[in-house]
């Protein structure tokens, strides 16, 4: 009812972030069209009118949310410190230690936000350029390095990047959608990771001793 928290300059940025976070939550939860500014205001703990001091419209707020999501989503970091070890070791490390993407609050939001993004040409372009392509590029580095070695089969890098990237994406999507109903929940997660790693390394075929 009364004015809350008069702020120093620094605090204003903080409030901007609170609003952004609240907006992300609400947009994810309800979808762009169903989310309301009062919803968001309440979640952010401010009055509805206050939102307009920070963002000129619902649309702009949404755009800001998506942009912020793109830059802040920690997905890229997941792949950031690709160590210098040999590929199987690195892969195992990634899958075992960081492939808890389902629990990563950012990642699990991707499918919810993505469909809204697809509907806005500007956001769609942004999403592709600043989110998807960076991830692809990050994957492309080791993939290309692999291509230079006899140890690995020869694939067109553009394809391999998308096959492996898509695999992670789709696998995670499935876990999200299946949720508690997923039979994966009952398995030893270490063995799940082993299977994933082995599939990437060797595929489904048992190589006959002594060559194809």
Partner DNA sequence: AATGAATGAGCTTTCATTCAT
Partner DNA sequence: GATGAATGAAAGCTCATTCAT
3 vs 196: CA distance, rounded Å:
54
User: Rule CB under 7 A: is residue 50 a binding residue for DNA?
Assistant: yes
Binder to a second copy among 29, 60, 77, 122 (CB under 8 A)? Answer: 29
Q: Which residues contact residue 123 at a Cβ distance below 8 angstroms, ignoring those fewer than 6 apart?
A: 63, 66, 116, 117
Smallest distance from DNA to CB 14, Å: 9
Binder to a second copy among 5, 8, 84, 151 (CB under 8 A)? Answer: 151
105 vs 107: CA distance, rounded Å:
6
Q: Which is nearer to a second copy, 83 or 208 (CB)?
A: 208
Q: Which residues contact residue 149 at a Cβ distance below 8 angstroms, ignoring those fewer than 6 apart?
A: none
Binder to DNA among 56, 105, 170, 203 (CB under 7 A)? Answer: 56
Only segment of 9-17, 89-97, 124-132, 185-193 that touches DNA (CB under 7 A): 9-17
Q: Which is nearer to a second copy, 84 or 191 (CB)?
A: 191
Smallest distance from a second copy to CB 17, Å: 21
User: Rule CB under 8 A: is residue 205 a binding residue for a second copy?
Assistant: yes
Smallest distance from DNA to CB 39, Å: 7
Residue with tokens 């140890």: 151
User: Rule CB under 7 A: is residue 119 a binding residue for DNA?
Assistant: no
User: Rule CB under 8 A: is residue 103 a binding residue for a second copy?
Assistant: no
User: Rule CB under 7 A: is residue 63 a binding residue for DNA?
Assistant: no
Q: Which is nearer to DNA, 55 or 168 (CB)?
A: 55
Provide the 3-class DSSP secondary structure of residue 85: coil
Our CA dihedral for 163, 108, 190, 98, rounded to 10 degrees, sits at 80
User: Rule CB under 8 A: is residue 111 a binding residue for a second copy?
Assistant: yes
Helix axes 58-72, 9-30, angle to 10 degrees: 100
Residue with tokens 């609170």: 18
Query: Which tokens is 138 given?
Result: 């990050």
1 vs 4: CA distance, rounded Å:
8
Question: What does the DSSP assignment read for 7-38?
Answer: --HHHHHHHHHHHHHHHHHHHHHH-TTT--HH
Binder to a second copy among 5, 103, 183, 190 (CB under 8 A)? Answer: 183
Site of interaction with a second copy (CB under 8 A) = 29-35, 87-88, 111-116, 118-119, 124, 127-128, 132, 146, 150-153, 155-156, 158-160, 162-163, 165-175, 177-179, 181, 183-184, 187, 191-192, 195-196, 198-212
């Amino acid at each position: 009812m009364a004015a809350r928290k008069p702020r120093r300059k620094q605090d204003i940025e903080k409030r901007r972030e609170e609003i952004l976070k609240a907006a992300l939550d609400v947009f994810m939860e309800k979808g762009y069209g169903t989310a309301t500014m009062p919803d968001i205001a309440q979640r952010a703990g401010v009055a509805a009118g206050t939102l307009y001091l920070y963002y000129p419209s619902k649309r702009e707020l949404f755009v800001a949310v998506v942009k912020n999501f793109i830059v802040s989503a920690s997905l890229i970091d997941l792949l950031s410190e690709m160590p210098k070890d040999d590929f199987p070791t690195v892969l195992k490390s990634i899958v075992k230690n960081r492939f808890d993407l389902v629990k990563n609050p950012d990642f699990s939001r991707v499918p919810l936000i993505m469909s809204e993004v697809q509907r806005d040409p500007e956001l769609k372009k942004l999403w592709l350029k600043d989110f998807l392509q960076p991830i692809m590029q990050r994957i492309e580095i080791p993939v290309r390095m692999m291509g230079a070695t006899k140890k690995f089969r020869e694939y067109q890098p553009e394809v391999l990047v998308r096959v492996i990237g898509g695999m992670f994406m789709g696998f995670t999507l499935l876990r999200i959608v299946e949720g508690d109903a997923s039979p994966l929940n009952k398995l030893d997660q270490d063995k799940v990771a082993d299977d994933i790693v082995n599939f990437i390394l060797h595929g489904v075929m048992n190589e006959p001793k002594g060559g194809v």
